[in-house]
Amino acid sequence: MPSVLGNRTYRHLFAAQVVALVGTGLATVALSLLAYDIAGGSASAVLGTALAVKMVAYVGIAPLIGAFADRLPRRALLVSMDLVRAGVALALPFVTQVWQVYVLILLLQAASACFTPTFQATLPEVLPEERDYTRALSLSRLAYDLESLFSPALAAALLSLVSYRWLFTGTAVGFAASGLLVVSVLLPGPRPVERTGGIHAKAAFGTRLFLATPRLRALLALDLVVAAVGAVVLVDTVVLVRDTLGRSAGDVSLALGAYGAGSMTVALLLPRVLGRLGDRSLMLPAAFVLTGTLGVLALGLGAGGPRAGWPWPALLAAWTIIGAATSAILTPGGRLVRRSASDPDLPAAFAARFSLTHACWLITYPLAGWLAATTGLAVSAGVLIVIALVGTLVAVRLWPREDPAELEHAHPELPRDHPHLAGVGQTHSHDFHIDVLHRRWPARDATDTRTAA
């Protein structure tokens, strides 16, 4: 994997991602402490609302950016969003009212909703070889996992020296450094693409591309699986460890660390594994592993196992397996998006995935929290296991076993002298993507889809 870092442009972009992630991690800790300073015992409500604002920004704004990303200079867009995020981080220590927190968080996450899909859409053009791009996806997953482990430790070290408000300064420095790294390289320019309709139609194009492409519909179902199981891990771990198992606060970090360790291990192995198995053969079994592991653990905990002494090792093992299976789904997802869209449409496609994925989390986060609080962990886990199982079965149903890039299709709606038909005729085959000339998936593939399971 280090060989991909030999590409100077990618090396700078990866470094930009890492420093921005560290800054975001510091902001997460600082925001919790700021909410407590402002709201006291209501801090959890403030943070919960802030997370909801974050998800709404992600779901609503990313498609709008996708509608115009093909006409905006990418480097200028990425750098300006880093500057906006740095400015918000510097303003956060000075807020005194809860509503001010919400406004600044909305601005911060709106900038992230612009930055992240554009960044993701740039990588496949910087690394056109699939092997290199796969390694970049693995490194990206590794960066996210390391951030989740490293940033809290760094924040704790800094808090022993300075006030938590200085952590926001560290966040601003991270975003500023990210901007400098981005501006230090040349990025592929935007490739304008003709799309009919107004702003709404353009913003909806990426979503339409997803819903019209069988493998991307399957990917969306798999993202729902990850969100359902991941919500249990991220929302309910503290209750499982502290109340159900009666363990110390430090064990909460250990359990989440096991989840991150499983994810990192798979991220390191994936480039080699994908070369042998392929995306479908890896991602669909991983979804069954996710659902089954959570189901087994829920049954064990529901049977009164804490008194037997075994559920703590079982929880660590389960979270490690879930982290590994999550990485096996999330990391190759970028390959499917890249394969399913032409280069000019990549920003819209990645923006759509960013938005739709966070819509899944917007559903499962509240379910995991509210159900656990009102009906107990067993019911909460049971409902989310059902959602995950449905998502898994839908993905199997939607993703054809035979999924070639080139598909034969016809264009009866086009005149015979149309440039697209030059030299090939109205019935022909090529790498098939949903676009202005190809609005529906060929019927032959729909037949394959029915027999895919």
List pLDDT tens digits, range 243-257: 777 777 668 778 888
Contact between residue 220 and residue 333 where contact means Cβ atoms under 8 Å apart: no
Which of 134, 154, 157 shows the shortest CA–CA distance to 146?
A: 154
Which of 19, 128, 113, 115 shows the shortest CA–CA distance to 75?
A: 115
Residue 127 phi/psi, 5-degree rounding, is -120, 80
* Domain-wise residue ranges, the chain: 1-192, 202-399, 406-450
Q: Which range, of 57-66, 392-401, 412-421, averages the lowest pLDDT?
A: 57-66
Domain 202-399 in this protein, CATH class = mainly alpha
Contact between residue 52 and residue 358 where contact means Cβ atoms under 8 Å apart: no
C-alpha 130/C-alpha 171 separation (Å) is 33
Helices (H), 69-186: 74-91, 98-126, 130-159, 165-183
pLDDT tens digit string along 196-227? 555 555 567 778 888 889 999 999 999 999 99
Q: Three-state SS for 126?
A: helix
End-to-end CA distance of the chain: 34
Instruction: Give Cα 362 to chain centroid, integer Å.
Output: 13
Please give the CATH topology (third level) of the domain spanning 1-192: Growth Hormone; Chain: A; (1.20.1250)
pLDDT tens digit string along 294-324? 888 878 766 655 554 457 888 899 999 999 9
- What's the predicted TM-score (pTM) here? 0.81
